[in-house]
């Protein structure tokens, strides 16, 4: 099964992708994570992407499509993929259709997480990441259980993403409405779109996804 998670930054795509990975064994392909790794490793792609990412803009389609094309060839992807943060433009969506079709695969479902802009800005501005394992938290609705200690690995060092400031979130939201939100109509027209209330507590969203998965398997 292949799924796409779509929604503005901070909608909970990464959290729900993690849920789908741990519960159903999907491989999570997050273009944001892949690009951040490329920036950290100082690769050619990383150098091209870093300034754009810091400004909260969209990395060119060809770069992102290239990263995904290379990654979905890996054998671990055969068991099912949850795309997190990809596609983000209609061109990327068309490229994904072509890439999957070339492998005799299809996209089974597109999960939209709907959220309120004001809440999003607050959620993202308070987001922080464990420096040891990369688990993501936020002070509003996903704090660590013990203050200053990562729930996943016990790490005590955290960092904030440089693009998680209120000003850059506004730029990223603009890109979402301009370039990504047309995907909602694109996938609706294909009969693939299922929308969820991303403002609900994260555990409730995960339960709603489980109900959807059960229905799809029936
Ligand atoms: P994310 O972790 O999904 O919020 O992505 C972080 C940043 O990486 C975005 O603000 C973009 O600059 C870049 N990025 C991630 N995925 C894509 C994509 N599919 N297309 C273009 N840029 C992307």
13 is catalytic: yes
Q: What integer pLDDT is reported at residue 218 of this predicted model?
A: 83
Cβ contacts of residue 178 below 8 Å, gap of 6+? none
- The answer to whether 79 is a known catalytic residue is no
CA angle 32, 38, 40 (to 5 degrees): 100
74: left (phi over 0), alpha (psi -120 to 50) or beta: beta
pLDDT in tens, the chain (218 residues): 999 999 998 899 999 999 999 999 999 999 999 999 999 999 999 999 999 998 888 999 999 999 999 999 899 998 899 999 999 999 999 999 999 999 899 999 999 999 988 888 888 889 999 999 999 999 988 899 999 999 999 999 999 988 888 888 888 899 999 999 999 999 999 999 999 999 898 899 999 999 999 999 88
Q: What is the pLDDT of residue 66?
A: 95
- How far CA 125 is from CA of 44, 56, 163, 168, in Å, comes to 29, 13, 9, 10
pLDDT on residue 157: 96
Pocket probe mutation, ligand 1, options 45, 85, 167, max atoms within 8 Å of Cβ: 85
Percentages (nearest 5) of helix, strand, coil residues in the chain: 50, 15, 35
Ligand 1 neighbours, Cβ below 6 Å, are 9, 31-32, 35, 52-53, 56-59, 64, 85-86, 88, 92, 163, 172
Ligand 1 centroid to residue 168 C-alpha, Å: 12
178 is catalytic: no
Task: Write down the pLDDT at residue 141.
Answer: 81
- pLDDT recorded at residue 56: 83
User: Looking at residue 71, what is its pLDDT?
Assistant: 94
């Amino acid at each position: 099964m292949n799924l796409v998670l779509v929604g503005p930054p901070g909608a909970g795509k990464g959290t729900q992708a993690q849920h789908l990975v741990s519960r159903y064994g999907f491989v999570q392909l997050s273009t944001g994570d892949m690009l951040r790794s490329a920036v950290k490793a100082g690769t050619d792609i990383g150098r091209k992407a870093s300034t754009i990412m810091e400004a909260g803009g969209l990395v060119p389609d060809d770069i992102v499509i290239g990263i995904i094309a290379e990654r979905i060839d890996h054998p671990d992807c055969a068991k099912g993929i949850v795309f997190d943060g990809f596609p983000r433009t209609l061109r990327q969506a068309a490229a994904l259709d072509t890439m999957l079709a070339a492998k005799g695969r299809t996209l089974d479902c597109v999960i939209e997480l709907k959220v309120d802009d004001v809440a999003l800005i607050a959620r993202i501005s308070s987001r922080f990441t464990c420096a040891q394992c990369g688990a993501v938290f936020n002070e509003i609705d996903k704090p660590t259980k013990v203050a200053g200690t990562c729930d996943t690995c016990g790490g005590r060092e955290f960092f904030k993403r440089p693009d998680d400031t209120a000003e850059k979130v506004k730029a990223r939201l603009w890109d979402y409405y301009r370039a990504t939100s047309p995907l909602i109509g694109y996938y609706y027209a294909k009969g693939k779109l299922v929308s969820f209330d991303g403002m609900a507590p994260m555990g409730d969203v995960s339960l709603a996804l489980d109900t959807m998965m059960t229905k799809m398997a029936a």
